[in-house]
Amino acid sequence: MLPLLRRLCLLSLCLALPLKAAELTVDLGHGTQVYTTEQLLARGDARTIHIPDDVSFKHAMRYRAVPLKALLQGADADDALLFVATDGFAAEIPANLILHAHGSEAWLAIEEPKQPWPSLSEAKGGAGPFYVVWTDPQAMKVGPEQWPYQLATIRRLSPVAERFPAILPDIALKPDSEVRHGFTVFERTCFACHTLNDQGYARLGPDLNIPHNPTEYLREDLLRAYIRNPQSLRHWPQARMPGFDQEALSDADLNALLAYLRHMAGRKSAH
Cβ proximity of 163 and 196 under 8 Å: no
Cα(210)–Cα(197) distance, integer angstroms: 6
d(CA 7, CA 4): 5
- Confidence (pLDDT) at 1: 45
Residue 64: phi, psi to the nearest 5?
-85, 125
3-state secondary structure of 157: strand
**Which CATH number is 20-157's, of 3.30.450.40, 3.40.50.920, 3.90.420.10, 3.30.565.10?**
3.90.420.10
Q: Return the CATH fold of 161-265.
A: Immunoglobulin-like (2.60.40)
Alpha helices in the chain (DSSP H): 2-16, 37-41, 95-99, 160-163, 178-189, 214-217, 220-228, 251-265
Q: Report how far residue 109's alpha carbon sits from residue 133's, in angstroms, rounded to the nearest whole number.
A: 7
129 vs 109: CA distance, rounded Å: 8
For the chain, the average pLDDT equals 88
CA angle 8, 13, 17 (to 5 degrees): 150
Closest by CA to 69, choosing from 135, 126, 127, 115, is 135
Q: Answer yes or no: are the C-beta atoms of 135 and 104 closer than 8 Å.
A: yes
Say if residues 149 and 85 touch (Cβ distance below 8 Å). yes
Alpha-carbon distance values, 268 to 91, 176, 185, 196, 203 (Å): 23, 23, 19, 9, 19
Q: Where in the chain is the domain with CATH 2.60.40.420?
A: 161-265
Please report the DSSP string for 82-149 in residue order. EEEETTS-EEEEEHHHHHT-SS-EEEEEE-BTTBPPPPSBTTTB---SEEEEEESGGGGT--GGG---
Coil, strand or helix: which one is 49? strand
β-bridge pairing 80-85 and 61-67: unpaired
Q: In the prediction, which pLDDT does 77 show?
A: 83
Residue 235 has pLDDT above 50, yes or no: yes
3-state secondary structure of 151: strand
pLDDT at position 271 is: 59
The length of the chain in residues reads 271
**pTM for the structure as a whole:** 0.66
Torsion of CA 238, 240, 241, 247, to 10 degrees: 100
pLDDT above 70 for 14: no
Which residues of the chain form CATH 3.90.420.10?
20-157
121-157 pLDDT tens trace: 877 789 999 999 999 998 888 888 899 999 999 999 8
181-231: pLDDT as tens digits: 999 999 888 987 899 999 988 878 899 999 999 999 999 999 999 999 998
d(CA 60, CA 54): 6
